[in-house]
């Protein structure tokens, strides 16, 4: 049976996530206000999407008046990494019904994934349960959405400098990006996509340059890596 479990180790594991979400959520809510979202809309977005990078990108593209198609495609691309997370967690949830899995999937983020995977692998007295994993996801979402709403509400009374706010979005992307700049191949792929994106942005309409540049460069990198692996096996 699927239920939430709040115990000492759940609270211990969720508190660093909650602290991070509190700060980031306030910032995200403030950015939402700059894109003319009211606190209700910001909170709805953070509950429905519950994905920081999606929301930042959605808000940034909304400010630029991007088309629905390119917003959808860009957000989808950004979230593809979560497919890796949920396929990694899938074996632990083999007994779950589809409807319960659908609920759990909603709460998978970079942070909840990292904590849950580590707990499934390391906690053994008693083993980490799927209920505890679900609780981590849900508590994270509650903190995230409340701080989004509060941030949006507070921003109405603060006079934020718009160019500074839009730079904070860039800094957020840079901060997330830095986590992926760990291998030479990753750095080269990211920088190539960045350069291609600049030039495509001058010729491609509807803000599609982000998707096109990242699709092209990530696919090329994949092709080269797999070709290299096969070459290595033949020798």
Partner 1 sequence: MMSKEYIWCVIIIVAVASYLPRVIPLLLLSGRGLPHWFKVWLTFVPTAIFGSLVFPDIFLLGNELNFTLNNIALWTTLLITPLALKTKSLGYTIVAGAVVFALLQHFI
Footprint of partner 1 on 86-105 (CB under 8 A):
86-87, 89-91, 93-94, 98, 101-102, 104-105
* Host H or E run for residue 10: helix 8-34
Q: Are 58 and 49 in contact (CB under 8 A)?
A: yes
Q: Are 122 and 65 in contact (CB under 8 A)?
A: no
Least Cα distance to 102 among 90, 110, 112, 91 occurs for: 90
Q: Are 18 and 143 in contact (CB under 8 A)?
A: yes
- Selected from 15, 121, 131, 222, the binder of partner 1 by CB under 8 A is 222
Least Cα distance to 102 among 179, 213, 2, 207 occurs for: 2
Task: Give, in degrees to the nearest 5, the angle at Cα 12 between 44 and 142.
Answer: 10
Footprint of partner 1 on 24-53 (CB under 8 A):
24, 27, 35-37, 41, 44-45, 48-51
Q: Of 11 and 48, which CB lies nearer to partner 1 in the complex structure?
A: 48
What's the min distance (Å) between Cβ of 19 and partner 1?
9
Question: What is the distance between the alpha carbons of residues 32 and 45, in angstroms, rounded to a whole number?
Answer: 10
Given the rule CB under 8 A, which of 7-15, 119-127, 144-152, 174-182 is the region that contacts partner 1?
Answer: 174-182
Footprint of partner 1 on 110-129 (CB under 8 A):
none
Footprint of partner 1 on 69-88 (CB under 8 A):
71-87
Q: Does 141 bind partner 1 (CB under 8 A)?
A: no
Q: Of 8 and 184, which CB lies nearer to partner 1 in the complex structure?
A: 184
- Selected from 163, 232, 233, 235, the binder of partner 1 by CB under 8 A is 163
């Amino acid at each position: 049976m699927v239920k939430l479990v709040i115990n000492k180790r759940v609270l211990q594991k969720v508190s660093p996530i909650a602290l991070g979400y509190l700060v980031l959520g306030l910032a995200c809510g403030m950015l939402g206000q700059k894109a003319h979202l009211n606190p209700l809309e910001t909170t709805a977005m953070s509950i429905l999407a519950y994905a920081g990078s999606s929301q930042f990108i959605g808000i940034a593209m909304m400010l630029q008046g991007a088309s629905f198609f390119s917003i959808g495609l860009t957000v989808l691309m950004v979230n593809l990494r979560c497919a890796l997370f949920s396929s990694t967690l899938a074996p632990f949830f083999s007994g779950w019904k589809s409807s319960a899995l659908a609920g759990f999937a909603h709460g998978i983020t970079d942070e909840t994934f990292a904590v849950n995977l580590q707990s499934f692998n390391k906690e053994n007295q008693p083993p980490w349960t799927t209920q505890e994993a679900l609780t981590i996801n849900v508590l994270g979402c509650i903190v995230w959405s409340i701080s989004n709403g509060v941030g949006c509400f507070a921003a109405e009374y603060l006079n934020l400098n718009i160019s500074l706010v839009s730079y904070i979005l860039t800094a957020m992307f840079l901060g997330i990006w830095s986590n992926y700049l760990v291998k030479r191949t990753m750095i080269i792929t990211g920088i190539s996509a960045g350069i291609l994106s600049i030039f495509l942005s001058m010729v491609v309409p509807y803000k599609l340059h982000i998707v096109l540049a990242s699709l092209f460069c990530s696919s090329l990198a994949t092709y080269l890596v797999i070709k290299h692996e096969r070459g290595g096996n033949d020798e």
